[in-house]
Amino acid sequence: MSKLCALTLASLLGACTGRPGALDAPPAAHPRASASAAPAGVPPASSASATGASASALAGVKLAPAVFGGPGKRSVLGANGVVVSAEPFATHAGVSVLEAGGNAVDAAVATALALAVTHPSAGNLGGGGFALVRPPAGPTVALDFRETAPSSLTRPSFDAMIAAKGSGPVAAGVPGSVAGLLLAERRFGRLPLERVFAPAVALARDGVILSREEAGLLAAHWNTLSLDAAARGVFGDAHGAPLRPGARLKQPKLAALLAELVARGESAFYAGPAGESLVRASGGKISLADLAAYRALERDPIRVRYRGLEVETMPPPSAGGLVLAGTLRALERLGPEPRPGAESAEMLHFFLELSRRAQALRRFSVVDPDALEPAARDALVARFLDPEALAAVPIDPEHATPSERIHPLYADALRELEHTTHVSAVDADGMVVSLTTTLSASFGAKVMVPATGVLLGNAVASFSSMGDNLPLPGRRTTSSMAPTLVLREGRPLFVLGTPGGDTIPSTLGLLVMRLVDERMPLDDAVDAPRVHHGFVPDAVRYEAARPLPKDVLDALKAKGHRLNRSRAAQGDASVIALTTGPLNEAGYADPREGPGLALAAKAPAAEQTQPNP
Question: What local confidence, expressed as pLDDT, does residue 293 receive?
Answer: 98
Task: Quickly state the pLDDT bin for 48 (edges 50, 70, 90).
Answer: very low
Per the structure, the count of domains in the chain is: 2
Q: Are residues 449 and 516 in the same domain?
A: no
Q: Where among 472, 492, 512 does a domain terminate?
A: 472
Q: Are residues 360 and 377 in the same domain?
A: yes
- If you average pLDDT over residues 425-441, what whole number do you get? 96
The C-alpha atoms of residue 589 and residue 499 are separated, in whole angstroms, by 12
Angle between helices 252-264 and 193-206 (to 10 degrees): 170
Q: What is the pLDDT of residues 469-498, one digit of tens each?
A: 889 999 999 999 999 999 999 999 999 999
Round the average pLDDT of the chain to a whole number and report it. Answer: 88
* Exposed e or buried b per residue across 344-380, where buried means at least 16 C-beta atoms within 10 angstroms of its C-beta: ebbbbbbbbbbbbbbbbbbbbbbbbbebeeeeebeeb
The C-alpha atoms of residue 328 and residue 361 are separated, in whole angstroms, by 15
Question: What local confidence, expressed as pLDDT, does residue 465 receive?
Answer: 79
Q: Which residue stretches of 236-337 are H helix?
A: 252-264, 267-270, 272-281, 288-293, 319-334
Residues in the chain: 613
Q: Looking at the domain assignment, is residue 345 inside a domain? A: yes
- If you average pLDDT over residues 9-28, what whole number do you get? 38
Active site residue ranges? 420
Residue 25 pLDDT more than 50? no
Q: Looking at the domain assignment, is residue 110 inside a domain? A: yes
Which among 278, 269, 134, 147 has a CA at the least distance from the CA of 197?
A: 269
Residue 327 sits in a domain whose CATH number is 1.10.246.130
Q: Looking at the domain assignment, is residue 407 inside a domain? A: yes
Residue 513 pLDDT more than 60? yes
Amino acid at 500: G
* Exposed e or buried b per residue across 564-602, where buried means at least 16 C-beta atoms within 10 angstroms of its C-beta: eebeebbbbbbbbbbbeeebbbbbbbbbbbbbbbbbbbb
Q: Looking at the domain assignment, is residue 278 inside a domain? A: yes
Bond into 71 cis (ω within 30): no
Question: What local confidence, expressed as pLDDT, does residue 613 receive?
Answer: 42
Q: Are residues 503 and 464 in the same domain?
A: no
Distance of CA 403 to the CA centre of its chain: 28
Q: Are residues 342 and 443 in the same domain?
A: no
Question: What local confidence, expressed as pLDDT, does residue 412 receive?
Answer: 66
Question: What local confidence, expressed as pLDDT, does residue 160 receive?
Answer: 86
Q: Are residues 210 and 120 in the same domain?
A: yes
Distance of CA 552 to the CA centre of its chain: 30
Better-predicted residue by pLDDT, 292 or 416: 292
Q: Are residues 139 and 258 in the same domain?
A: yes
Q: What is the pLDDT of residues 113-154, one digit of tens each?
A: 999 999 999 999 999 999 999 999 999 999 999 999 999 999
Better-predicted residue by pLDDT, 613 or 261: 261
Task: Quickly state the pLDDT bin for 589 (edges 50, 70, 90).
Answer: very high
Q: Looking at the domain assignment, is residue 586 inside a domain? A: no
Q: What is the DSSP string of 154-188?
A: -HHHHHHHHHTTT-SGGGPPBP-HHHHHHHHHHHH
Question: What local confidence, expressed as pLDDT, does residue 67 receive?
Answer: 65
Q: Are residues 95 and 178 in the same domain?
A: yes
Amino acid at 181: L
Residue 60 pLDDT more than 80? no
Q: Looking at the domain assignment, is residue 115 inside a domain? A: yes
Bin 430: left if φ > 0, else alpha if -120 < ψ < 50, else beta. Answer: left
Sign of CA dihedral 272, 278, 280, 283: negative
Q: Are residues 384 and 423 in the same domain?
A: no
- If you average pLDDT over residues 594-598, what whole number do you get? 92
- If you average pLDDT over residues 64-83, what whole number do you get? 86
Amino acid at 378: D
The C-alpha atoms of residue 241 and residue 596 are separated, in whole angstroms, by 27
Distance of CA 607 to the CA centre of its chain: 32
Proportion of the chain in helix, strand, coil states, percent, rounded to 5: 40, 20, 45
| β-bridge mates for residue 421, sequence order | 437
Residue 56 pLDDT more than 60? no
The C-alpha atoms of residue 441 and residue 244 are separated, in whole angstroms, by 21
Sign of CA dihedral 143, 146, 147, 151: negative
Maximal CA-CA distance, the chain: 70
Backbone angles phi, psi at 421, to 5 degrees: -145, 155
- If you average pLDDT over residues 63-77, what whole number do you get? 78
Contact 319, 313 (CB under 8 A): no
Q: What is the pLDDT of residues 305-335, one digit of tens each?
A: 999 999 999 999 999 999 999 999 999 999 9
Contact 443, 121 (CB under 8 A): yes
Task: Quickly state the pLDDT bin for 534 (edges 50, 70, 90).
Answer: very high
Question: What local confidence, expressed as pLDDT, does residue 66 receive?
Answer: 52
Q: Are residues 502 and 437 in the same domain?
A: no
Distance of CA 176 to the CA centre of its chain: 15
SS3 call for 399 = strand
Task: Quickly state the pLDDT bin for 61 (edges 50, 70, 90).
Answer: very low
Q: What is the pLDDT of residues 256-303, one digit of tens each?
A: 999 999 999 999 999 999 999 999 999 999 999 999 999 999 999 999
Q: What is the pLDDT of residues 200-210, one digit of tens each?
A: 999 999 999 99
Question: What local confidence, expressed as pLDDT, does residue 324 receive?
Answer: 98
Q: Looking at the domain assignment, is residue 313 inside a domain? A: yes
Contacts of 264 (CB under 8 A, 6+ apart): none
Contact 174, 146 (CB under 8 A): no
Q: Give the rounded percent of residues in the chain with a pLDDT score beyond 90.
A: 78
Question: What local confidence, expressed as pLDDT, does residue 124 receive?
Answer: 96
The C-alpha atoms of residue 590 and residue 595 are separated, in whole angstroms, by 9
The C-alpha atoms of residue 215 and residue 93 are separated, in whole angstroms, by 21
Q: Are residues 360 and 446 in the same domain?
A: no
HSE (side-chain half, CA atoms, 13 Å) at 571: 34
Distance of CA 226 to the CA centre of its chain: 26
Residue 521 pLDDT more than 90? yes
Q: Looking at the domain assignment, is residue 102 inside a domain? A: yes
Q: Are residues 184 and 264 in the same domain?
A: yes
Task: Quickly state the pLDDT bin for 523 (edges 50, 70, 90).
Answer: very high
Residue 369 pLDDT more than 70? yes
Residue 32 pLDDT more than 90? no
Q: Where among 472, 492, 511 does a domain terminate?
A: 472
Question: What local confidence, expressed as pLDDT, does residue 294 receive?
Answer: 98
The range of the structural domain enclosing residue 343 comes to 299-415+483-566
Question: What local confidence, expressed as pLDDT, does residue 19 receive?
Answer: 26
CB atoms within 10 A of CB 398: 9
SS3 call for 15 = helix
Question: What local confidence, expressed as pLDDT, does residue 4 receive?
Answer: 43
CB atoms within 10 A of CB 40: 5
Task: Quickly state the pLDDT bin for 342 (edges 50, 70, 90).
Answer: confident
Q: Are residues 247 and 359 in the same domain?
A: no
